Structure 1
Amino acid sequence: MPAIGIDLGTTNSCVAVFRNGRVEIIANDLGNRVTPSYISFARGERQVGEAAKEDSTENYENTLYQIKRLIGRTYDDPSVQADMKLWGFTVINDDNKPKIPVVNSSKGDLFCPEQISAMILEEMKNTAEAFLGETVTDAVITVPAYFNDAQRKATSDAGVIAGLNVIGMINEPTAAAVAYGLDRQSENERNVLIFDLGGGTFDVTIVKITGHKFDVKATGGDTHLGGEDFDNTLLEYFVSEFKQKHGEDISENKRALNRLRVACEGAKRKLSSTTQAKVQLDALQDGYDFRSNISRAKFENLNYNFFERVFDTVKNTLSDSGLKKENIDDVVLVGGSTRIPKIREMLGKYFDNIELKRTINPDEAVAYGAAAYAFALGSDEDPALKGFVLEDVIPLSIGIRMYDGTMGFVIPRKTKIPTKLWETWHTSEDNQTTVSFKIYEGERTLAEENHFLGEFTISGIPPAPRKKGQGNVLLEINACGILHVKVIEKITKNSNEITIAGAKGRLSDSEIKRMVQEAVKFRKRDQELKQRSDARNALEDYAYTVKEGVDQKHLTRQQRESIMSKVTEILQWLDINMTELPERSEIEAKKRELERVVE
């Protein structure tokens, strides 16, 4: 059974498989090698990809996108609060977990980000199965290098809900480095900087590549910076312009915002190849049309602060790696937003006019590397991946809150993974019988200023003077970057352990189990809808075939009129039931009625 690699993107997703000595990017049923990360619900039907994206301007309340910006985050996260104002769909607060209500036919559903991401992953799984002609369960899923533990765990949970066995997770720029290294097929040692600017996230990773050995030296990034932000600055600019021209504020009109967002994305793409782009929308609000132009220079000016943030990250990552920019042999562009001319200009200038490498497809490179890694994790061997070794690092330090509120760093950032480290702990008070451990990730001195991962308690410690009660704590990070913590008390050998999944906003095992069951129900519902749709199409095709061929048959006038009357009745019935598809049995019964008349 083959293992696949899935690039679960903010804007687009892609799936690939390694077989017969090479990686194959798998096209979806429309023949496209990337699929928009969109889900829409309408008329009792769920759509994924291109069809959902096309539905977004009209069915804006029930079309979900950019879900990667929600996954693993809490409702009160400032980035979630900012994004909510620009989305057409609604996000509600459920015990500080962001959830999305949709109306599917007459029924309301409430989804968490993991469920929506699972639907996109399942679409990638189905695409691979159709291509390979066999069942696929094993997968490697990519994540931004700077995804924290909560976001990684949530992505892994989404894979489980989708019916996948997540055999590994790989950082997106590392996957791109694998794609670049395999594409070059060189044994010479090179320091490669992967510049990965996608739709919603930005990563920089510096990798030493020697043949098929990939040694990550440093990684940096921003989990909330990408092409969607550039779209948003255009959106805000045009909202302001519309208000100046017509005195109308469309910021609360979600339908108008969604239409304008689509136009902004189109203008941004056009500005990568031309210096001017038009935005034209009829009856945007209260009958007012909107006509405007945007220049490339204006676009660059609006997004200059974002571009500056990008290059601050590049400089910091270089510093972390211990290398100077002169030591970088190749700069590789990955992600759709690297097509922006100003980004390329600034990057080339910073690296003293080095030739930027564009030999790998920026939209497909991450899935390509993930597929190669997925194959390498299996037991099969292939000469094309002989000697494959991948050494990745953690992007943020992991530590424990000390009794004085400071961060006790246990696993420093840039540590190779998988890894495990033991740390000794002591009681902080006399006769203390319980100790709580709070786990954080980040680089700040005060623990509370870092990202909280979770906490747990060990009890039953024999009473003793301060610092005499002690034990060991193990922090272990697996190859997916997910943290497991275990504590052992020295005298009684009492222990407690958790895989960090219990912090606020995470899914519990019972929630995941319930969502897996719901995903199965959705799968059955989708299958039933497809069967109904196929039956409806078969009936309609048959009715038109009979209508077109009735004059060619040797029939009496009465027979002809009887057949045409039935055909008209069937076609009218189909029109009436266009929105809500009848049951398959009812549709097939109608077809049998027509067949009896024809016979």
Structure 2
Amino acid sequence: MGESMSDCEWPVIGIDLGTCYSCVAVWRDNRVEIITNDQGNRTTPSWVAFNDKERLIGEAALNQAGSNPCNTIFDAKRLIGRRFNDESVQEDMKSWPFKVVSGTKPGTKHKPMVSVLYKGEHYTFTPEEISSMVLMKMKDIAEAFYGSKIKNAVVTVPAYFSDSQRQATKDAGTIAGLNVVRIINEPTAAAMAYGLDTKLITSGSARAKTVLIFDFGGGTFDVSLVAIEKGEFIVKAITGDAHLGGGDFNNRMLSYFAKEFKRKNGFDISKNPRAIARLRTASERAKRVLSSAAQTDIEVDCLFEGTDFRSTITRARFEKLNMELFLKSLDIVKNCLRDANMEKWEVDDVVLVGGSTRIPMIQKLLTEFFDGKDLCTSINPDEAVAFGAAIHAANISGVGKSIKDIVLVDVTPFSLGTSVVSGDMSVVIPRNTPIPAKMFDNYTTVYDNQTSVAFCVYAGERPIAVDNNFLGKFTLLGIPPVPHGIPELKVSFEIDVDGILTVSATEKSTGNSNQITIKNHKGGLSKADMDRMLLEAEFFKAEDKKRRKVVNAKNALEIYANRLKHAMDRGKVTNIGNFRKMENAVDLTLEWLEECSDDVGDAFEFEKKLEDLQRSCGYIKL
């Protein structure tokens, strides 16, 4: 199925790189273990922030978003592998407080770039770089758990991610210092988690099950039909929307509350990033509460111009605001069943994955559609994808003895082909073809003495090629100058296990050939760009380490001085020789700490102060 132990260094971690939250897991002691972060949480916000002092990732970035909205980045997954002028990017930019600009340099031209202010200087980052920072955080969490370096990872992506988005995700892993040994689809990973949870993997049960994975996360939505039998996972069909998720529900609530604030107070806050960021946080909190309550209040003090905002929203109002999106998700379920040529009664279990599946109306619509079938909620919707990624990681590294016989057969979510002279889309690999796959078709010239043919590669289901997603272009040269229709041009499309596409063309009589691997268009990075970003990643890592060293040195000094002061106040060091001198040294140190700036650039100054205080006090141990 994949690499052996000799090929794939253990441990291999599984990472769910989510739009809103990320999760990391590993196979240990014959089971999956979700790894908690430094705050003790099992999921970590996919947020990155920059300020005058440091870079923050995860909870630290999320917690300061209200006061630093323009330099706090979230939803990077909605940018990765896309172009700046994509309709979805332009739509999202309207609700983001941070600035997104179009790249202008050769390696980043037309890519969406995040612009931030860090330590007084302007920086721009690609979505890959922001995602790499989140991946690096997940890598650090795993390394803290193991106490050793982690190199290899299985990373999940939405099933409906395009080839360029998959390649961009792999690039992000490389920038983070990870060897991404496999990219797998999120609903497929969730199906593996379900298989282990229900013992379909390990029990040897002969009965096959057809499972519909309903994966509704913070930024993406996927539906996958998977047949599971004796450890074999065969994906029958996948469909979805790489731009639909809980964040869209937040945006609709945000818009609703902003209009209410304007109606009540006359202020338009749409252009005020700080007010929008605080209202967004309140909106998301209200959304979560409404999954278990009929209504909730939101309160934001001094939202704008000293004016407080108070409002109440009911679950019915929330459902009305988002019903269009709820029904859209149900249409995608119907499309998936149709693509698999299956009826809804043939589905054994409907498995809910992703935080948005907690919304009662979504569950109600699904239950009604499947004629009252109980929905499967036995696996944690926030952790299922990372759980499955860890299973796959153990499988390909050869360490999961109880799951060594797992076989995974995934499919491609889009039809892949090339344009012909009429402008039509000539499909070479139809959608929902099992991968890895290799298929070919034959073409010829359309003009006499034509010595070259350009092949434009597209992904999509529209009959006209240019209406689909353009992936790349290459030209086959050296065709013999003969009448049209005589040259035989064999075009081959090959998709690897990560869903990465390679297209090649060969002229039969001469053997001349050319090919393109669809990874440098709309999201792929050149070697020069990758090298530059790796250097920048090392720079920020070194800056973070330097900052932590300063903070730790300052904390060590402050803790020692305060403990000494406490001991002196309680009369525990009265027998020391020069008490007055020692008391003065402690007081001066505490005063200096009060006045010193956090911007002290070197830990040495704090370390020297600590050494001086310890010397003045006779190196008292506390």
Give SS of 1:448's match: helix
Q: Which runs of 5+ in 1 are unaligned?
A: none
Does 1:377 pair with 2:408? no
Q: How many residues align?
A: 597
Distance in structure 1 (CA, Å) of the matches to 2:375 and 2:572:
66
Does 1:399 pair with 2:413? no
Mapped contact 2:51–2:71 kept (Cα < 8 A): yes
Give SS of 2:277's match: helix
Partner of 2:542: 524
* Amino acid of the structure 1 residue aligned with 2:95: L
Partner of 2:3: none
Give SS of 1:357's match: coil
Does 1:131 pair with 2:145? yes
Give SS of 1:88's match: coil
Equivalent runs, 1:238-387 vs 2, <5 Å = 238-382=257-401, 384-387=402-405
* 1:313-356 Cα distance to aligned partner (Å, 9 max, x none): 00010011111001111111111110000000110000000010
Does 1:431 pair with 2:449? yes
Distance in structure 2 (CA, Å) of the matches to 1:505 and 1:48:
23
Does 1:225 pair with 2:244? yes
Among candidates 488, 496, 500, match of residue 482 of structure 1: 500
Distance in structure 2 (CA, Å) of the matches to 1:380 and 1:347:
38
Distance in structure 1 (CA, Å) of the matches to 2:83 and 2:588:
54
* 1:107-127 Cα distance to aligned partner (Å, 9 max, x none): 322111000100111111111
Mapped contact 1:477–1:484 kept (Cα < 8 A): yes
* Amino acid of the structure 1 residue aligned with 2:378: T
* Amino acid of the structure 2 residue aligned with 1:162: A
Mapped contact 1:43–1:579 kept (Cα < 8 A): no
Mapped contact 1:458–1:496 kept (Cα < 8 A): yes
Among candidates 88, 96, 100, match of residue 87 of structure 1: 96
* Amino acid of the structure 2 residue aligned with 1:527: K
Partner of 1:548: 566
Does 1:9 pair with 2:18? yes
Distance in structure 2 (CA, Å) of the matches to 1:474 and 1:239:
53
How has the CA–CA distance of structure 1 residues 577 and 92 changed in structure 2, closer, same or farther, with 3 Å as cutoff? farther
Q: Give how far 1:297 is off.
A: 0.3
* Amino acid of the structure 2 residue aligned with 1:541: I
* 1:348-404 Cα distance to aligned partner (Å, 9 max, x none): 00000001011100000000001111111124450x204211110000000011122
Q: Give how far 1:516 is off.
A: 1.4
Partner of 2:599: 580
| Greater mean deviation of Cα atoms: 288-297 or 485-494 | 485-494
Give the structure-2-normalised TM-score. 0.94
Distance in structure 1 (CA, Å) of the matches to 2:90 and 2:241:
17
* Amino acid of the structure 2 residue aligned with 1:421: M
Does 1:473 pair with 2:482? no
Mapped contact 1:535–1:588 kept (Cα < 8 A): yes
Q: Which runs of 5+ in 2 are unaligned?
A: 1-9, 104-108
Mapped contact 2:27–2:400 kept (Cα < 8 A): no
* Amino acid of the structure 2 residue aligned with 1:447: A
* Amino acid of the structure 1 residue aligned with 2:493: L
Give SS of 1:243's match: helix
Mapped contact 1:455–1:503 kept (Cα < 8 A): no
Distance in structure 1 (CA, Å) of the matches to 2:35 and 2:523:
34
How has the CA–CA distance of structure 1 residues 470 and 574 changed in structure 2, closer, same or farther, with 3 Å as cutoff? farther
Distance in structure 2 (CA, Å) of the matches to 1:485 and 1:569:
71
Partner of 1:161: 175
Partner of 2:127: 113
Distance in structure 2 (CA, Å) of the matches to 1:490 and 1:276:
69
Partner of 2:187: 173
Give the structure-1-normalised TM-score. 0.97
Distance in structure 2 (CA, Å) of the matches to 1:573 and 1:72:
50
Distance in structure 2 (CA, Å) of the matches to 1:449 and 1:90:
29
Partner of 1:44: 53
Does 1:462 pair with 2:480? yes
Distance in structure 1 (CA, Å) of the matches to 2:135 and 2:498:
17
Distance in structure 2 (CA, Å) of the matches to 1:575 and 1:171:
52
Give SS of 2:99's match: coil
Aligned Cα root-mean-square deviation (Å): 1.4
* Amino acid of the structure 2 residue aligned with 1:167: V
Give SS of 1:176's match: helix
Mapped contact 1:36–1:50 kept (Cα < 8 A): yes
Among candidates 217, 222, 232, match of residue 213 of structure 1: 232
Among candidates 543, 553, 563, match of residue 535 of structure 1: 553
Partner of 2:211: 192
Q: Give how far 1:435 is off.
A: 1.4
Mapped contact 1:13–1:37 kept (Cα < 8 A): yes
How has the CA–CA distance of structure 1 residues 385 and 80 changed in structure 2, closer, same or farther, with 3 Å as cutoff? same
Distance in structure 2 (CA, Å) of the matches to 1:240 and 1:88:
17
Quote the sequence identity (%): 49
Q: Give how far 1:554 is off.
A: 4.0
* Amino acid of the structure 2 residue aligned with 1:416: P
Distance in structure 2 (CA, Å) of the matches to 1:266 and 1:249:
22
Q: Give how far 1:521 is off.
A: 1.8
How has the CA–CA distance of structure 1 residues 552 and 387 changed in structure 2, closer, same or farther, with 3 Å as cutoff? closer
Does 1:441 pair with 2:446? no
* 1:255-288 Cα distance to aligned partner (Å, 9 max, x none): 0000000000000000000101111111111121
Give SS of 2:316's match: helix
Among candidates 15, 22, 27, match of residue 18 of structure 1: 27
Give SS of 2:458's match: strand
Q: Give how far 1:582 is off.
A: 3.1
Q: Give how far 1:509 is off.
A: 2.0
Distance in structure 1 (CA, Å) of the matches to 2:362 and 2:558:
52
* Amino acid of the structure 2 residue aligned with 1:97: K
Mapped contact 1:501–1:508 kept (Cα < 8 A): no
* 1:140-168 Cα distance to aligned partner (Å, 9 max, x none): 10000101111111111101111111111
* 1:1-36 Cα distance to aligned partner (Å, 9 max, x none): 210110000111000111221111111111111111
